[in-house]
Structure 1
Amino acid sequence: MAADTEAFVDGTADTAIAGVALLLTGGISLLGIITAEAYHPDYATTQEISDLGSTAPPDPVSYEPTATIFNSTMLISGALVLVAAYFLYRVGRSRVLWLPLGIFGFGVFGVGVFPGNMTPWHGLFALLTFTSGGIAAVLAARATPKPFSYMSVLFGGFSLASLLYALALGASGPLGGLEFGGIERWVVYPLLVWVTGLGGLLLGEDSMNEANYSSS
């Protein structure tokens, strides 16, 4: 009985840690981007998000403290997603949940390590982040209950569709008024909403498990 209790406590603790890490990811990412935008002397949301860290060559430009805020935000957010993926793996959750999530976290962390002036690495990690994030959200539908699974497909699918639009048409077509930075936000922000929602779901599961265990 003691062994069962210890296993239960360890499992719920792991789920709670993963949930907290993902909730923090959503909050830190959003606040970090907003803060970096506010400190940038000449920035518009029609610009690429990564311009907050540094613009691309041949004439890269970065401003402080904007660059430090943005790059640190990416490093912390990526690390938190990796922590969440690890604890979901440790607690025995489905591979379709933790593995794509871990790849997504690795991509976000890489964006922080390699700012926009470090080509081609920044572009590769940014593409990895966008692609793996959308796929992670869609695949999470197989490992999460309804109706959250429907929302995972919705947010992940919307993000991937926006990414395909950006790759195919760039800043042209019916969304041309958003320019590339605006379209990029259609890729990124749904993933931040999804990550935050997944964190809340995991914390809710943890609370329900504790309540059910206490009443048994």
Structure 2
Amino acid sequence: MSINRLSVAGLLVFIGVAEFLLLMLIAETLYPGYSVSRNYISDLGVGPTAILFNSSIIIMGLLLVIAAILVWGLSKVFAVTIALTGIGAMGVGVFPETVHPLHLIFALIAFLFASISSYPTIKISRSPGRALWPILGTIGLIALILYIMHMYLGLGPGGMERMIVYPNLTWALAFSAELMNYKDASGV
């Protein structure tokens, strides 16, 4: 049995997203006085959890860029959007929030293209849940707009930022599992 490029891409996306999510949660518990409501996610990239957070987001970004190269033949639009998401994520880790304005630019790229990346999946997904991926991406986009407008809906800035990130991590994990098992029209 041969492993195809899409299976490898799915595995890379899954590893990248899962390791980032888990290490982010660990960093939140290790950061003294951290509040998911009051603190920004990127606060984890400075101080006692900087190495853990920054390395995990850089690794995720790198794996997304590699996955983008592997999915190029399946969907160029998806490949470009997922590559931009990865570049944004790497930039967030390389330029922590103390480096203005680079951190903000890379964070916006990551947030925006993570959400947009969900849209091309509706055409390439064969899962019954394929309509859910763009819904989750849309939740991320709406949350991004609210976040930019400082409308936190009682969640605080950290809570609203997570409403951008968590839906996108969710669809990425689900879609990556599908990619790992993707078969082309010939059954390969």
**TM-score bin, normalised by smaller chain:** over 0.9
Q: Does 1:44 align with 2:21?
A: no
Structure 1 partner of 2:70: 87
- What code does the residue aligned with 1:79 have? L
Residues of 2 paired with 1:99 and 1:140: CA distance? Answer: 12
Structure ranking higher in helix proportion: 1
Residues of 2 paired with 1:168 and 1:178: CA distance? Answer: 14
Structure 2 partner of 1:125: 106
Give the secondary structure class of the aligned counterpart of 1:32. Answer: helix
Residues of 2 paired with 1:148 and 1:95: CA distance? Answer: 22
Give the secondary structure class of the aligned counterpart of 1:137. Answer: coil
User: Contact conserved, 1:26 with 1:195, CA < 8 A, in 2?
Assistant: yes
Two-structure CA RMSD over aligned residues (Å): 1.9
Structure 2 partner of 1:59: none
For residues 31-180 of structure 1, what are the structure 2 equivalents within 5 Å?
31-46=22-37, 47-54=39-46, 62=47, 64=48, 66-89=49-72, 92-171=73-152, 175=153, 177-180=154-157
Structure 1 partner of 2:177: 200
Give the secondary structure class of the aligned counterpart of 2:34. Answer: coil
- Report the Cα offset of residue 203 of structure 1: 1.2
TM-score by length of 1: 0.81
User: Contact conserved, 1:29 with 1:192, CA < 8 A, in 2?
Assistant: no
User: Contact conserved, 1:96 with 1:143, CA < 8 A, in 2?
Assistant: no
1:191 maps to which of 165, 168, 182: 168
Deviation beyond 3 Å, 4+ runs, structure 1: none
Q: Does 1:15 align with 2:24?
A: no
- Count, aligned residues: 187
Give the secondary structure class of the aligned counterpart of 2:182. Answer: helix
User: Contact conserved, 1:97 with 1:143, CA < 8 A, in 2?
Assistant: no
- What code does the residue aligned with 1:37 have? E
What is the percentage of aligned positions where both structures have the same residue?
Answer: 31
Residues of 1 paired with 2:79 and 2:125: CA distance? Answer: 12
Structure 1, gaps ≥5 residues long: 1-7, 55-61
Structure 2, gaps ≥5 residues long: none
- What code does the residue aligned with 1:94 have? S
- Report the Cα offset of residue 142 of structure 1: 2.5
Larger Rg: 1
Deviation digits for residues 78-111 of structure 1, max 9, x if unmatched?
011111111111xx11112211111111111111
Deviation digits for residues 44-77 of structure 1, max 9, x if unmatched?
10110000112xxxxxxx2x2x110000011101
- Report the Cα offset of residue 146 of structure 1: 4.8
Residues of 1 paired with 2:101 and 2:174: CA distance? Answer: 32
Residues of 2 paired with 1:161 and 1:145: CA distance? Answer: 26
- Report the Cα offset of residue 209 of structure 1: 7.8
User: Contact conserved, 2:127 with 2:178, CA < 8 A, in 1?
Assistant: no
Residues of 2 paired with 1:43 and 1:149: CA distance? Answer: 35
Residues of 1 paired with 2:142 and 2:120: CA distance? Answer: 15
